[in-house]
Structures are given as C-alpha cells and as structure tokens.
C-alpha cells in the first residue's frame, strides 16, 4: 500500500516527503485540507519547516489527498498511538527492539511475546512497524522490568531474528 501511495506522488519528491511525515506521525487531513492530530491542527508552515520544503508543497499535497478518493479515505482515518519508548528510561521500563529477516512472516509477535510472558514478565506495550510503511520494520516491546540474559539469548536464537537491542 505504501508503494501505491508514493507512486501517486512520484513526480514530486517533496510531496513524497510530506506523505512520509504524515504516515510516520499518524497525522490526518481534515475536510478543509488541514493537517490534524486528533482535533488539533498542525500548521502547514511547521510541517514544511520539519521536512525542509515550502509551505505550498504541504498545501498541494493535502489538496491532492482530498482530490483522490482512496487517499482521502486513508488520510482522514489515520490516528497516532502514544508510545512508551521515549518514556521508558524515565519510567524505569525496558525496551526490546527486534529486527527480523522477513517482517511479513506470521507468528513473529506471538513467538516473542510468548517467550516473555512465559517468564511472567509484564509487557506494557507492543509496537510493530508495518512492513508496507517502513523500509526496515521492527518490533518494539516495552516491559516493566529488565529481561534476564537467558531470555535475551532465547529471543535472539529464534529463526526469524536478525538483531535485537535492549534499552
């Protein structure tokens, strides 16, 4: 799906940057063509400044989104999900980041969460990048305590795991 969306903007790398930012941040576009997060409007000048484009590029992108029924449906229904990852150090939580060989394989989340829950460790949050929207999708698990070394080794030894990181 991500490739299909980006293809619609293939003639404008700047508009592709706007699309990528909207998707990454979970920003939607309302009926007036304004970028919003929930009910809060995000100024187009702020978006433009963030990605280094002119404000008119943001305007043109939101106009194109509203003019295309498929894009309109997608971008009017996006929502952001709060993440505990940045708060983990403050809240004394552990973040496990798992990079896999093929993020489209089934059972990845079940295998990792199962290994953790078998140790009676509470998982506070699980976030999985969508392989269609991310070039290098990862699985993030936030737990309420540190993971023991043998569990880290068990997860690292799963067939589909390429790399793990602990924070």
Looking at the chain, the domain(s) classified CATH 3.30.70.260 span 88-166
What token pair was written down for 65? Answer: 């989104």
E strand segments, 32-160 = 35-37, 40-42, 94-100, 123-128, 138-143
Higher pLDDT, 24 or 165: 165
* Model confidence pLDDT, tens digit, residues 115-134: 999 999 999 999 998 887 77
Report how far residue 154's alpha carbon sits from residue 134's, in angstroms, rounded to the nearest whole number: 26
User: Strands, E, within the chain: which ranges?
Assistant: 28-29, 35-37, 40-42, 94-100, 123-128, 138-143, 161-166
The CA distance from 40 to 110, in Å, is 35
Whether pTM > 0.95 for this model: the answer is: no
Summarize pLDDT for 41-82 with one digit per residue, the tens. 999 999 999 999 999 999 999 999 999 999 999 999 998 888
Name the average pLDDT for the chain.
94
Place 153 in a pLDDT band, splitting at 50, 70 and 90: very high
Q: Please give the helix or strand (H or E) that residue 72 lies within, else none.
A: helix 69-75
CATH code for the structural domain at 88-166: 3.30.70.260
163 φ, ψ to 5°? -160, 150
Sheet holding 40-42, edge to edge: 28-29, 35-37, 40-42
Q: Is it the case that residue 104 has pLDDT exceeding 90?
A: no
Q: What is the pLDDT of residue 80?
A: 87
pLDDT at site 56: 97
1-26 pLDDT tens trace: 788 999 999 999 999 999 999 998 99
Helix-then-strand count for the chain, H and E? 8, 7
CB 28 within 8 A of CB 75: yes
- pLDDT category, 146, cuts 50, 70, 90? very high
């Amino acid at each position: 799906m991500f490739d299909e969306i980006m293809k619609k903007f293939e003639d404008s790398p700047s508009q592709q940057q706007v699309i990528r930012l909207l998707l990454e941040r979970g920003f939607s576009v309302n009926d007036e063509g304004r970028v919003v997060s929930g009910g809060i409007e995000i100024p187009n000048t702020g978006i433009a400044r963030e990605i280094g484009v002119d404000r008119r590029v943001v305007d043109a992108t939101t106009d194109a989104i509203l003019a295309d029924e498929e894009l309109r449906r997608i971008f009017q229904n996006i929502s952001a999900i709060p993440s505990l990852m940045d708060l983990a150090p403050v809240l004394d939580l552990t973040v496990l980041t798992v990079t896999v060989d093929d993020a489209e394989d089934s059972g990845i989340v079940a295998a990792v969460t199962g290994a953790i829950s078998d140790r009676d460790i509470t998982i506070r949050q699980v976030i999985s990048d969508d392989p269609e929207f991310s070039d290098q999708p990862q699985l993030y698990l936030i737990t309420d305590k540190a993971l023991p070394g043998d569990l880290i080794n068990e997860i690292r030894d799963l067939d589909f795991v390429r790399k793990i990181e602990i924070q």
